[in-house]
Amino acid sequence: MSEDVDLPESHPRYESLLTRHRIEAGVDRGITSRQGLIAQGRGEAFDYLLGERTIDSADDAERAAAAHLLSADHAVVSVNGNAAALVPGELVELAEVTGADLEVNLFNRTEERIEAIAEYLREHGATDVKGLTADGRIPGLDHERAKVDADGIGAADVVLVPLEDGDRAEALGEMGKTELVIDLNPRSRSAEVATVPIVDNIIRAIPNITEHARNLRGDPDAQQDAIDAFDADSALTAAEQTIREGDLE
Ligand code: PTJ
């Protein structure tokens, strides 16, 4: 986390307030949709109950996700308005370390927002950002929500989708793609259809996937072990249990 808000890091709500600030700034910049503010509020409630930490099952999921990204033929990291506002530099770094493409892919799609997000990612070091061509379609979704780049998400075998809408997550799964989903609600449809559901805040999840990828890079056996060792149903159950037992203080 960084210095983009005037708050001491010792403040007990530092991370949460910084996150809110970034989402607000994302709306002001034309990156994040107003619905993104609502989605953030929902996520915060789950994160509070999780104890605002990466639980062990989420760390396992992050390791498995790193392994899938590294061993893919063609991996794509999908970027929406919330992800771009919260972790732009971290997404660029993850793509670099794993060799994945970055593709802007929006639920509430407008050309202006796609351009603004692509530009923001370039400001954070991205050299090639997909999502502007939109010459591919996800079958089973209405026209605007189905748009992807044919040589990006359209051709990918592994897709990382943070904070994805349930319909689209389901449709991507039906295309036979390995889906890695980051979502703080373990019983959202997106988490339930994912090959690897990551129940963690995106601000912690992305840097941790990158760190795992650094450790697993160049070691196909360790990558396969991380994939084989991960069980999606157990991870979702562990997250739900942690939330149900969560402390409201
Ligand atoms: O930028 P766009 O147009 O693609 O729109 C993005 C949003 C997120 C607005 C859109 O995809 C949407 O409406 O999503 P939902 O259906 O509200 O789902 C968002 C999910 O992400 C919810 O289950 C939240 O709990 C979860 N979530 C919210 N903030 C975070 C989160 N998960 C991880 N980290 C977060 N910071």
Q: Where are the domains of the chain?
A: 56-245
Whole-angstrom CA distances from 51 to 38, 62, 202, 241, 249 are 20, 18, 15, 12, 10
| Cβ-contact 216, 226 below 8 angstroms | yes
Residue 15's pLDDT is 82
Nearest CA residue ID for atom 30, ligand 1 = 43
The counts of H helices and E strands in the chain are 12, 8
The span from the CA of 100 to the CA of 103, in Å, is 10
pLDDT in tens, the chain (249 residues): 444 677 788 887 888 888 999 999 999 999 999 999 999 999 999 999 999 999 999 999 999 999 999 999 999 999 999 999 999 999 999 999 999 999 999 999 999 999 999 999 999 999 999 999 999 999 999 888 899 999 999 999 999 999 998 999 999 999 999 999 999 999 999 999 999 999 999 999 999 999 999 999 999 999 999 999 999 999 999 999 999 998 777
Nearest CA residue ID for atom 14, ligand 1 = 165
Task: Provide the CATH topology of domain 56-245.
Answer: Rossmann fold (3.40.50)
Tell me if 107 CB under 6 Å of ligand 1: yes
Entry pTM: 0.96
AA identity, residue 245 = E
CA–centroid distance, residue 212 to ligand 1 (Å): 24
